[in-house]
Amino acid sequence: MSYEYVIVGGTEKAATTSLYQYLIDSDLFNRSIKKETDYFRGAECSLENYLNEFESTGKSLYVEASPGYLAESEVSAKRMRIVLGDKALVIFILRSPLERLISSFKFHKSRLFLPRNMGFDEYIDLCRSYEAGIGSEVLGLDKWFLKVPDAGLYHKHMIDFVENGYAPHVVEFSKFVRKPSVVLDDILKELDVSTVTYKDYSFETSNKTEAYKFVMLQRFALFLNDSFEAIFYRFPVIKRLLKKGYWALNKGESDGVSVSDENLKWLKEFYQKDIFNLYESGYICDAVRDVWLSSFSNGSNKR
């Protein structure tokens, strides 16, 4: 297969930012102007307009990372197929659904999308109510944040891509964390550019969620980050230095997350079938399946 586009399509809070940074640092790609174009979540899509989302550097490959594609697969998979056909390599990094859900909750709080004093159990109660059919306007949160548990039903969403003719390149999160060079080598081999290696590359983690002390400082920092995103991806060392100084000033104490036995039971029932479907489809091995399922143990409700 001859690919022209690399789409890191999910999942949220599973190192998609790090993978995107590692890929663009290879200098093989026309990088997207913003990491998350979210283009195929839009209403009208065309190849001409999609290419406007990228820097034009004369390279034959394009790369972007929009983890919302997996969460909104019913829309994004169809539109991607119409515009890109079979020229896209779609990559999904899959993380333990419970770990991803907790990380997403902390991330959305750090981005000021959720109330600072909201507890995880309170948040899950709202998500459960949304799943039960209560509208987002009644619950007081945007539906995107109420749909976060559903986004962890990976098999359910990946089927939309399979039915649209894609064979997703699936990466398990913990393997990527442990052996990023192996994962990258596998991706480059699939792109038929295996001569590039990451032997002497420094794998720095991107977009790590931190707790903050002062909300106004956090708001200003988020504004700067969003305003200069393209520059920071081009010169990641600058962003690392700025972040180091910023967190020395505004890093707060990380809050532990407590999950009630009732919510942990609901989450296990919510995800269990999908996890087995992933295993039976060959997307995860039995060891990963067992680790993910064990995370819902009632004896492990403080995180």
Model confidence over 53-111: pLDDT tens digits? 999 888 999 999 999 999 999 999 999 999 999 999 999 999 999 999 999 999 999 99
pLDDT at position 1: 62
What is this structure's pTM?
0.92
Q: In what order do the strands lie in the sheet with 61-65?
A: 29-31, 61-65, 5-10, 88-94, 169-172
Measure the CA–CA gap between 2 and 191, rounded to whole angstroms: 7
- Predicted confidence (pLDDT) at residue 300 exceeds the cutoff of 80: no
DSSP bridge partners of 93: 171
Residue type, 35: K
- Predicted confidence (pLDDT) at residue 126 exceeds the cutoff of 70: yes
Nearest Cα residue to 142 out of 39, 210, 68: 68
Name residue, tokens 């590039």: 196
| CB of 301 closer than 8 Å to CB of 259 | yes
- Predicted confidence (pLDDT) at residue 302 exceeds the cutoff of 60: no
Measure the CA–CA gap between 214 and 148, rounded to whole angstroms: 26
Tokens encoding 130: 């949304």
186 burial via Cβ count (<10 Å: 0-12, 13-18, 19+) = middle
Tokens encoding 23: 């890929």
264-268: which pairs have CB atoms within 8 A and are 24 or more residues apart? 264/296, 264/297, 264/298, 264/301, 265/296, 265/298, 266/124, 266/128, 267/97, 267/98, 267/101, 267/124, 267/149, 267/296, 268/293, 268/296
Measure the CA–CA gap between 161 and 76, rounded to whole angstroms: 9
Measure the CA–CA gap between 177 and 194, rounded to whole angstroms: 21
3-class DSSP state of 152:
coil
Percentage of the chain modeled with pLDDT above 90: 75
Tokens encoding 163: 């039915």
Mean pLDDT of the chain: 92
Section 295-300 average pLDDT:
70
Section 165-181 average pLDDT:
96
Grade residue 193 by pLDDT with cuts at 50, 70 and 90: confident
Counted residue by residue, the chain has a size of: 303
Grade residue 298 by pLDDT with cuts at 50, 70 and 90: low
Measure the CA–CA gap between 255 and 252, rounded to whole angstroms: 9
| CB of 151 closer than 8 Å to CB of 11 | yes
Measure the CA–CA gap between 229 and 222, rounded to whole angstroms: 10
